[in-house]
């Protein structure tokens, strides 16, 4: 039934067992290194996801601030336009007073006042 083993057969079995144990040790070491690498990469992915979430939150905050600043800028632009229109109106009034009271003669002013009434 069983094949007979002699001294050479035992030596061959020992050599095969040593080879298999070296292969098993190599596979175990390689497996441990790969598991450590997977753990490290998983940790890095989690850190990167947290960083991405933080950046997205910062981007959203900046977008909100940009919207607020755009509204503020629009309000300031409208106020500036109103003030420029007011200045233009006042300049027209000043010019009218100059033409009326500085450049016209007394006779012209009296004529305008009496003809209006």
The model's pTM is 0.52
**HEC assignment per residue over 5-66:** CCHHHHHHHHHHHHHHHHHHHHHHHHHHHHHHHHHHHHHHHHHHHHHHHHHHHHHHHHHHHH
The whole-angstrom separation of Cα 14 and Cα 18 is 6
Q: What is the pLDDT of residue 6?
A: 59
pLDDT in tens, the chain (117 residues): 455 555 666 778 888 999 999 999 999 999 999 999 999 999 999 999 999 999 999 999 999 999 999 999 999 999 999 999 999 999 999 998 887 776 667 777 777 778 776
Where in the chain are the domains? 8-116
- 62: tokens are 């900046």
Q: What is the spatial distance between Cα 112 and Cα 88, in angstroms, rounded to a whole number?
A: 25
């Amino acid at each position: 039934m069983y094949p007979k083993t002699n001294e050479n057969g035992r030596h061959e079995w020992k050599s095969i067992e040593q080879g298999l144990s070296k292969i098993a040790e190599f596979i175990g070491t390689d497996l441990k290194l790969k598991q450590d690498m997977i753990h490290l990469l998983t940790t890095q992915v989690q850190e990167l996801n947290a960083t991405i979430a933080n950046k997205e939150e910062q981007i959203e905050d900046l977008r909100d601030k940009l919207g607020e600043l755009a509204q503020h800028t629009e309000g300031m632009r409208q106020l500036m336009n109103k003030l420029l229109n007011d200045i233009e109106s006042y300049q027209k009034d000043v010019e009218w007073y100059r033409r009326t009271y500085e450049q016209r003669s007394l006779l012209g002013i009296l004529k305008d006042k009496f003809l209006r009434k």
